[in-house]
Homo-oligomer: A and B are copies of this chain.
Amino acid sequence: MDGMPRKPVAREAVLDAFATLLIEVGERAATLDAVARKAGVSKGGLLYHFPNKEALIQALLDQLDTLAGEDADAMAAAPEGAAAYFIRSSVWGDTPLDRAIVAATRLAEVAHEETRRRFAAIQRQWLDEIAADVGPALAKAVLYMGDGLYFNAMLSVGPVPEGGAAADVDELLAALERLRR
């Protein structure tokens, strides 16, 4: 057996701090120094795990893909239907996936091309699942409702967290029921 090298605790802390800063203060302020400080790690330590900022971004996007994949499965299997599951999950919930999505959104906003590509792929996944549930004619309407929720999460999530959007979900689900008939 090989002597296990000690666990890289810093790596996860850094990635989490990076996401948190992206969400709370935007890409501009998510500097390497700020990330390191938030993670309780030295800058040198950060760069040991992620040789440059792009590597940090890539790790975040990989995590996003993983989580989005899992979510797509859960969506397909949801008893309430994919559409309702989607709307319900589109409201800001501080789940790992929501965090990854909003964090990645900050990068897409700064014109990071690969992030945009990945987002497009995830949205296609969502659209497929929703279309399988409510039919292709209504799928876009549902998708855009969810996107609207994310849009608002993006604009409001920050130093002042708010629970306002949660109340809207019932309204949206009611509208969904109405569309379904």
Contact B148 A172 (CB under 8 A): no
B28 touches A110 (CB 8 A): yes
Docked complex: A142-163 residues within 8 A CB-CB of B: 143-152, 154-156, 158-159
The residues of B that contact A26 with a CB separation of less than 8 Å are 109-111
- Say whether A78 faces chain B, with CB atoms less than 8 Å apart: no
Count of A residues near B, CB < 8 Å? Answer: 41
B148 to A144, Cβ gap below 8 A?
Answer: yes
Instruction: Check if A166 is an interface residue, CB within 8 A of chain B.
Output: no
Centre residue among A24, A141, A152, A156 by max chain B CB count within 10 A:
A141
A137 touches B (CB below 8 Å): yes
Interface: A67 (CB within 8 A): no
- What CA separation (Å) do A150 and B155 show in the bound complex? 12
A172 to B147, CA, bound (A): 13
Q: Which residue of B lies closest to A172 (CB)?
A: B141
Question: Considering the complex of A and B, which 5 residue pairs feature the smallest CB-CB distances, nearest first?
Answer: A144-B148, A147-B148, A141-B175, A26-B110, A151-B151
- Name the B residues within 8 Å of A145 (CB-CB): 141, 144-145, 148
